[in-house]
Amino acid sequence: MKAAVYNRWLHQKGGGERHSAMAAKVLSERFETELVTHRPVSREELSDALNIDLSNVTVRVIPALPPNRFSAFTREFDLFINSSFMTNQPSEADHSMMLVLFPSPIDRSRGAMIRQTIGRFLMRELLLPEWLDGFYDVQELGSGWFRYATGQANIRVRVPSSTRRASIEIVGGNFREDVELPVRCLVDGEVIAERSFPPNPGSFETWQIDIDPSRMHGNTVELVLESPTFNPIDRFEGADNREVGLAVTDVRVRHLRHYLYEIMFRKAFRELGLRLEGLPTFYSLDHLDTYDVICPISKYSRHWMEVYWGISGPILYPPVDISWAQARAKTHTILTVGRFFRGTHEKKHGLMIDQFKRMCREGLDGWKFCLAGHQSGRAIDVAYTEELRRRAEGYPIEFAVDVPFDKLRQMYGDARIYWHAAGYGERADRNPVRFEHFGISVVEAMASSTVPVVLDQGGLPELVTDSHDGFVWSKAENLRERTWQLIRDPELCSSMAARARISSRKFSAEAFRMRLLELVAGLFDN
C-alpha cells in the first residue's frame, strides 16, 4: 500500500517539518511512503538537518497545484496525510488524515457572517466572476492583483438579465520573458476565440470576446481558458514550483455595474476589493470534509481549531527526539533556544535579556545567560540580532548562533535552568498564533535535566506542571521570582530536574510512533 505525507514547507527544515518527516518514517514501516513537497530538497539534506533516518522514504517534488488538481493527485495513495502548516488542500485518497500545527483563522462570529453575506451580495450584483477551477490563489502586483491560470481553467461570468449579447473582456498577461503564449477560450467544449499574448512580465492586455445568447445558461456563461504552461523554477532558482499559464487580473462584463466595481474596489477602496477577491476561499472549510481524522498537536491548537473551525479531533503530540539528551555536570547557566527573527512567532529575546540584566543588578553573580538558535538571513532579522547583542553588552550574556547540533546538545546538558517567553505581551484572544503551539525546545531541555521556567500561555502548560517539573509564569517579575527560587534552593532545582527528565518521555519519538500507528489502524479498521 502507498502513503504520502505532504508538507509544502519541507525545505525550511524546522520543527513542523520534523513532524512531517517523523510521520513518514513511522509510516514507512507499513507503507511504501513518500514525502511530498514543492521545492527541491534531497532526502539526505532532510535526514542530516532533522536527524531522522529516512532511508525507507522517497522525497517527491511536485508543482504546487490548485485545490482541485491537488485533490486528484492524492487519489493514487491509500493513505494521505496533510501535515503542512496552514495549507488548506483537499484529499481524495482512500484514507486521509490532517495534522494541525495551528488552524487557519476563520472568523465564525455573527459579525463575520454578516460581512460574508454583504460580500457575496456585492460579488453577485457587481458582476464579479467566479473562479471555478484551475486557478491559483490571488496575488498582489503593484496596486492591483491577479491569478495564474493552469493549463485549463474555468470561470463563470454573470451577465445582466437585460443583456442579449454579452461582451466579456479577459484582462490577462504573459509573464514569460521570451515566448508568446497562445490561449484558447472555449464554451461548452467548443473554441469560440483564440489569442496569442506576447511576452511582457507584469503587464496585461484586454481580450474582448462576444458571447452569443445561445451559449448562456440563464444569466451566466462558463468559459474555459486553455494554454501551454511553464514552471518559473526552471529559470529562477528559489521561485515557486508551479505550472502556470495566463496571468488573469480580471474577467469583466462591459456593464455599468462592473464599472462601479472597478471605481469602488479597484481604485477607491483597494483593500476591500482584495478582500472580495479572496472571499470565496478565505471563509471556506470545505476541504476539511475530505479528511477522515484531523489531529491537532496540542490542547491549545485543538481549542483554537474548535473556535475557528467548529470541529475537534484526537491530539497527536509532535515527536521530540530525546535519545541524545544527557544530564551533564550542571553549570550556572540559564539557556533559551529559538530562532533569531522578527515576525508573528518571535521568541521575545529582548524581554529575557532585560530580565536577566535586572537579576544581575539585584545581586545575581557567577551566572550567565545563553541565547542559542538559528539566524534567519533576512536583513531585518540580522539587524534584530545585532540590536540584541548591543542590548546585552556589559553583562554575562552569550549568543550561540547557528551552532552545530553537538554543541547545542552540550549546552542543553550544561544548563541548569531553561527560559521560554514566546507570546509574552500578546493577547491570546486576538493573536493566538503568536504563542507557542507546543514547545519542542522545552521538552529537549527537560530531557536534559534542565528545569523549565516558561510562560503560562499557549501549549507550554501542557508540557510543564507548575511546581512539579518546572515553573510557569505570567508576568516578568514572576519569571525572575521563580528563577531566584531555583538558584537559592539547589535541592529544589535538582529534584525538579529529575522530574522534568521523566516528564519529557511523554513526548518522545516512540510515544509519537505508537500514537500515530494507533490512529492509522483506526482508519483502516473502519
Per mean pLDDT, which range of 239-248, 272-281, 404-413, 481-490 is the poorest?
272-281
Q: How far apart are CA 65 and CA 50, in angstroms?
A: 26
Decide which of 3.40.50.2000, 3.30.1130.10, 1.10.10.10, 3.40.50.300 is the CATH code for 2-105+287-318+511-525.
Answer: 3.40.50.2000
What one-character-per-residue DSSP string does 173-228 give? Answer: EB--SS--EEEEEEETTEEEEEEEEPB-TT--EEEEEEE-GGG-BTTEEEEEEE--
Task: Tell me if 425 sits within 8 A of 347, measured CB to CB.
Answer: no
When pLDDT is averaged across residues 94-110 and rounded to a whole number, the result is 84
| Class for the domain spanning 125-282 | mainly beta
Provide the residue ranges of all domains of the chain, joining segments of one domain with +: 2-105+287-318+511-525, 125-282, 333-507
- pLDDT exceeds cutoff 80 at 280: no
- Which pairing describes strands 333-337 and 181-187: parallel, antiparallel, or unpaired? unpaired
The burial class, CB within 10 Å (0-12 / 13-18 / 19+), for 70 is buried
Amino acid at 259: Y
Burial of 314-344, coded b for 16+ CB within 10 Å and e otherwise, reads ebbbbbbbbeebeeeebeebbbbbbbbbeee
Domain spanning 333-507, CATH architecture? 3-Layer(aba) Sandwich (3.40)
Helix (H, G, I), strand (E, B) or coil at 246: coil
For the segment 425-460, what is each residue's pLDDT rounded down to a tens digit?
A: 888 888 888 888 898 899 999 999 999 999 999 999
What are the residues facing 220 on neighbouring strands? 158, 217
pLDDT tens profile 57-79? 999 998 888 887 889 999 999 99
Please check whether the two domains, 2-105+287-318+511-525 and 125-282, share a CATH topology: no
**CA gyration radius for the chain?**
27
User: What's the whole-model pTM score?
Assistant: 0.75
Evaluate whether 22 touches 512 at the Cβ level (below 8 Å).
yes
Answer whether residue 282 shows pLDDT above 50: no
Q: Which is nearest to 373 in space by CA: 35, 111, 14, 26? A: 14
Task: With CA atoms as reference, report the closest residue to 240 among 249, 227, 231.
Answer: 231
Cross-strand pairs, 333 = 368
Cα–Cα nearest to 450, from 508, 396, 404, 494 = 494
